[in-house]
Structure 1
């Protein structure tokens, strides 16, 4: 399966703690409790994060100057744009944003069922190592070739690929910012 997800198709969902809205990029399964979810969220002010016991989380800043997270009483280094930070979903987490509202990118996955990698990169070839691969474009439009088939990813579009074959990412701009997520079943 290869599926292109347009940013205009993402679904708005309320935060568990009721303090904001998440735009859900994709999740599995679609209905009920999920094993994994990828989403975007605007953080307008400092405050607590929702708890997700049984899940691990990975967060990155897409827009804005950055943020600090305090996780179980320990303050993180500054999370600058396009740096991924992983933490336990059961942890007590609060955030302090720098310089105003920001947009973040979240990967959350069931610890007992899934293992994942999240990496930010530019244009390159992505070799197949198994699992579901999700490519999220946080930069200008670019082309991706999967098994010789071309796809165009506009700003904040995603491509899901769960079949063998290398992905070749053709970015014509030096501002290419791509989240490469691999999800493996345990």
Structure 2
């Protein structure tokens, strides 16, 4: 059981697997794992130009948009995928040869990856004004990406405030959790659960 506030401004900076950029590692399991042996990983990266994505065999990936106009992902023998404010989450497998094309300048992305033999995940974008209740899951990461900020509260705990660029990582913590925003707040919810045949991760 664990509750941690994670700040992107102090996150560890690491090179991409293909060496063509830098990523901010927000959380990884198990602790100390590398790019070839993690069970799941949450990160953020600035994409400044067109180019290939790194290969991650055995990994499922979901991508969110934090800033910028967005990008188009070209996949082999499949229709391209567009990541923008109207379609803020994309999912694909790490084995694919993916080429990124920027729509209009650099972007900052949010990246959730999990090893499909061990974990299943779901990434969801929400715009919250007021409050919403969240059920618990094995791992839940709440990431605030707008200046309005968020307050996260559980019945038996003190409120936890999040500003833009901060996330709350909950591992095996029983919910429900109440999210409250005084203005309109954008956030990403990353949910992970152990992989089980026929199981889906639901929000």
Q: Where on the TM-score scale, by shorter chain, does this alignment land: which range?
A: over 0.9
**Structure 1 counterpart of 2:90:** 85
- Structure 1 unaligned blocks of 5 or more: none
Question: How far off its partner does 1:7 sit?
Answer: 2.2
The size of the alignment, in residue pairs, is: 185
Query: Helix, strand or coil for the counterpart of 2:88?
Result: coil
Q: 1:92 to 1:171 in 2, by over 3 A?
A: same
Instruction: Determine the C-alpha separation between the residues in 2 that align with 1:44 and 1:6.
Output: 22
Are 2:45 and 1:41 aligned?
Answer: yes
Instruction: Determine the C-alpha separation between the residues in 2 that align with 1:132 and 1:88.
Output: 21
Are 2:138 and 1:128 aligned?
Answer: no
With normalisation by structure 1, the TM-score equals 0.93
**Structure 1 counterpart of 2:146:** 139
Query: Helix, strand or coil for the counterpart of 2:82?
Result: coil
**Structure 2 counterpart of 1:100:** 105
Query: Mapping of 1:1-186 within 5 angstroms?
Result: 1-32=2-33, 33-81=37-85, 83-123=88-128, 124-140=131-147, 141-147=149-155, 148-162=157-171, 163-174=173-184, 176-186=185-195
The answer to whether the Cα contact below 8 Å between 1:68 and 1:75 also exists between their aligned partners in 2 is: no
Question: How far off its partner does 1:170 sit?
Answer: 1.0
- Structure 2 unaligned blocks of 5 or more: 196-203
Aligned-residue Cα RMSD (Å) equals: 1.4
With normalisation by structure 2, the TM-score equals 0.86
